[in-house]
Structure 1
Amino acid sequence: MAGIAETTNQADGRAASGASLGSAMVALTGARLASVAATFLAGVVAARLLDPAALGAGGVGLTLAWAVAIVGNGGLNIAAIYFLGRRPHERSAVVAYVLALAVGAGLVAAVLTGALSPLVGAVVLDTGEPTLFVAAGVLAVATIGYEVAGALLLGLERRHAYVMADVLRSVATLGCTVVVVGLVARTSAGYVLATGLGVAVPAVVALLVVRRVTGSLRPRFDRAFSRDALRLGLAGQVGNVLTFLNLRLDLLLVPALLRLDLAGVYFVATRVAEVVGQASTAASSMLFPHVAAQADHRDTATTERTSRLTLLATFALAVALAVVSPLVLGWFFGPTYRRGTLTLLILLVAMLPLAVARVLSADLKGRGRPGLVSIGTGVGAILTVVADLVLIPLLGIEGAALASVVAYAGTAAVLLGYYRRLTGGRLLALLPSVSDVADVLRLVRGRLGRRRGAVEVESA
């Protein structure tokens, strides 16, 4: 009887945990969709104030900054979440160790930006733009700060604070874009700098929350922890770098192989398509720490449910956006950007295999196997390079979008194989069914009901 009661309690605990995780994913998805609205408006402001060529150059600066941030990060966000989940009684110490490594990561990012800027200027832009690359350096350092601070919030189980920081990032980016690009510097450098300032604001706020939880933000170097963190983090960070190549390499190849004005159109299409990707980024953000903290590393129930709900949400968002895509590009960004309608539609198709890849990446990292993610994303990166070099000269920006479909599908296929081998889970259980539609509606209604209840309590 005791064994039956224990099994029942464990099942109830898993169900409650799954419901809590599902609710958190709904909250984060909703917040990110609100954030996307602000980011979308920031893109509209930039597109209206800058010509397509300047916007294309801005996209190059943003891509360089993001690339440097991913390399300089060293996998600290992965290590922070993993070790905070595995060492619940040493959280203050883990935070201090991570912050010490984050300072070094920021310095690495600044040096890398300076070293790569002349090469990118010569090969991609055919000209040197020092102010653009200084702005890229600011964005790279700010991005590392934001990613590490966000990982600490997730590892400390401050999901609400993480959601709020994500919203603040987009709102701050919009505000900085309006002020900097509209009033100070109507240039590609101004756009990149505004983005960097918009990322820095929530990074500072997130660190203040971490300080309130742990009592200190004083960095402390520990050789043993640094060795363990970098071993785990770098194994996963290889995958993050390769994922970045899958997602962003085309933003460098389009201007290099075509024209800057077409790069501007393609940049806008990719930013609009990212609206659909918010469901999978939210799911992966919440799933990783959950899997890392679960006792049974072969338990797949939460991952299966997360995959089904994420694919449903991604599909629904993609269909809705596809219907209005010509209006979105033409009305908001201007007639020039309607040229990217077909590109956007292809990119929306690519969001489905990308959603699968993101969910499985979070699961495998949570099980302590980030190296498998690196292999899967490495296959995707190879496919990205080959497909881009073949398809962009043949089909233009539509070819770049098709290359994304090929690369994301390849990554998802490899990760599905590793997931099946590691967990023994059924792959069909990752695909949504009719009952999952009702599950999504229940989660949304439950979240809205709690929000209404909170408003009523505050009003009373």
Structure 2
Amino acid sequence: MRSASSLGSAMVALTVARLASVAATFLAGVVAARLLTPAEVGVAGVGLTVGWAVAIAANGGLNIAAVIHLGERAEPRETIVARFIGYLIGSLAVALALTAAVAPLVGALVLERQAPWLFFAAAVLGGATIGYELTGALLLGLEQRRSYVIADLLRSGATLGLTALVLVWLSRSSSGYVLATGLGVIVPAAFAVFMLRRATGSLRPRFESAHFKRTMKLGMAGQVGNVLTFLNLRFDLLLVPAFVALDQAGIYFVTTRVAEVIGQASTAASSMLFPHVAAQTDRSDTSTTERASRLTLLATLLSGAVLAALGSFILGLFFGPIYVAGTSTLLILLVGMLPLALSRVLAADLKGRGRPGLVSIGTGIGAVVTVVADVILIPLWGIRGAAVASVLAYTVSAVILVVQYRRVSGGRVLLLLPRPSDVMDVVRMVRSRVGRR
């Protein structure tokens, strides 16, 4: 098994890759904001949200089940990978059907018009996301961490390059922005498939009904939590354009993307921590989770402080003067990044311990808070109300997951919080990564 130090180094590498991805996504958003009107950016936010929603619904928890199956080492890894490739094909078909079903409803209720090209692009994004998430989970389950990091870097370059290409040369529209994002995700998914082929020798799909039933039972227990987490993170991108003008929705979409910059440390930590905990022989060991939590919260706090100081400047310089109106909304969203980071780390730990249902409880209650608070606060305070609702939901979920983590693992809550020595720990890990280059 990889040591905690090796895991920390991998987390740093993936965080760097995720930051590169965020930088590319940020610049892609800048290109879109400069070439499209705020209202068109708001429409694009709806299309992106539909694509992500379809992906998470059609996924069925296969990525969770894949990591757990590979962590158990009960069967040859080639057999496990072949089965999940077969399941991937079925998920793609489900994603297409779901998009066709929800597109008319979202068009009528949110946009008040039908937008077939927008939802076609959303279908491409949904399918690409499913492929990337499942093949990426298989790479992590096989402990192919370097390949996973490279795939993440490929997504960065492809997303930025294709956004510029599509919006400048092919289709300067909200649907073009969504399509470019989907095409950018296809590139790393194809690379992941190639690396899986090298690691296992064959990707010929297999389907076994008995195994599929067990897989779905295992995956869906955690997927409920993923769906509810999605509602916590993205549901406001549908509610905001339904309650306020589309130009305000565009400003809110941009501020959420900027705030997500500091969330990359927690997504990297959770991606690496889940398979690590799943493969632990000592189920009572909490040291890796505690260390991951401390470093993640520290990185989130420091980067959030920098972004808060520069938020207004960044919005005006990169996106344009009209987006400066989202500064107060951005500051509120940055506050919510701390409980969100803690939630992601603890959710990864609980899933790795085979308790994804507990994650679903925490995120489910948070999702209810999201919907109720959004419906109440958006009409009152506009996009700032949506940001406040997000902070409330993230905090509630974090508190519940802390309680569940303490009950299941017996770990001490105070050990999850940063301490002064962690600052030097971060510096040493970064220097270690830089020294290898």
The C-alpha deviation readout for 1:24-74, integer Å capped at 9, x for no partner, is 001111111112111111000000010001110000000001001000000
Distance 1:420 1:35 in 2: 33
Residue in structure 2 matched with residue 371 of structure 1 by the alignment: 357
Equivalent residue for 2:313, pick from 327, 331, 349 = 327
Equivalent residue for 2:215, pick from 229, 253, 276 = 229
Distance 1:361 1:63 in 2: 22
Deviation at 1:298, TM superposition (A): 1.4
Question: After superposition, where does 1:417-428 map in structure 2 within 5 Å?
Answer: 417-428=403-414
Aligned AA for 2:315? Answer: L
Distance 2:323 2:335 in 1: 19
Distance 1:239 1:178 in 2: 35
Distance 2:140 2:306 in 1: 31
Question: After superposition, where does 1:15-414 map in structure 2 within 5 Å?
Answer: 17-87=3-73, 89-414=75-400
Name the Cα RMSD after superposition.
0.9
Distance 1:316 1:375 in 2: 30
Distance 2:311 2:409 in 1: 39
Aligned AA for 1:129? Answer: A
Count, aligned residues: 437
Equivalent residue for 1:432, pick from 396, 403, 418 = 418
Structure 1 residue runs without a partner (length 5+):
1-12, 452-460
Distance 2:294 2:155 in 1: 28
Aligned AA for 1:145? Answer: G
Distance 2:277 2:44 in 1: 37
Distance 1:19 1:443 in 2: 9
Give the fraction of aligned pairs with identical amino acids, expressed as a percent. Answer: 66
Deviation at 1:336, TM superposition (A): 0.7
* Structure 1 moving runs of 4+ over 6 Å: none
Distance 2:283 2:95 in 1: 35
Higher mean C-alpha displacement, 215-224 vs 17-26: 215-224
Structure 2 residue runs without a partner (length 5+):
none
Distance 1:413 1:149 in 2: 32
The C-alpha deviation readout for 1:197-245, integer Å capped at 9, x for no partner, is 0001110111000000001111100122211111110010000000000
Equivalent residue for 1:445, pick from 428, 431, 437 = 431
**Alignment check: 8 A CA contact 1:347 1:401 kept:** yes
Aligned AA for 2:137? Answer: A
Distance 2:9 2:191 in 1: 24
**Alignment check: 8 A CA contact 1:39 1:171 kept:** no
Distance 2:333 2:110 in 1: 23
**Alignment check: 8 A CA contact 1:109 1:141 kept:** yes
The C-alpha deviation readout for 1:52-98, integer Å capped at 9, x for no partner, is 01110000000001001000000011011111111265100000111
Aligned AA for 1:377? Answer: T
Distance 1:351 1:226 in 2: 36
Aligned AA for 2:44? Answer: G
The two structures have a TM-score, normalised by structure 2, of 0.99
The C-alpha deviation readout for 1:371-404, integer Å capped at 9, x for no partner, is 0000100010000001111111111101100111
Deviation at 1:448, TM superposition (A): 1.0
Distance 1:90 1:414 in 2: 37
Aligned AA for 1:362? Answer: A
The C-alpha deviation readout for 1:9-31, integer Å capped at 9, x for no partner, is xxxx8xx7110000000111111
Secondary structure of 2:235 counterpart: helix
Secondary structure of 1:277 counterpart: helix
The C-alpha deviation readout for 1:271-320, integer Å capped at 9, x for no partner, is 00110000000000000000000001111010000000000000011011
Distance 1:175 1:444 in 2: 28
Distance 1:245 1:131 in 2: 24
Aligned AA for 2:126? Answer: A
**Alignment check: 8 A CA contact 1:309 1:440 kept:** yes
The C-alpha deviation readout for 1:316-338, integer Å capped at 9, x for no partner, is 11011111111110010001110
Deviation at 1:122, TM superposition (A): 0.2
Flag the structure with larger Rg.
1
Aligned AA for 1:95? Answer: V
Distance 1:100 1:183 in 2: 37
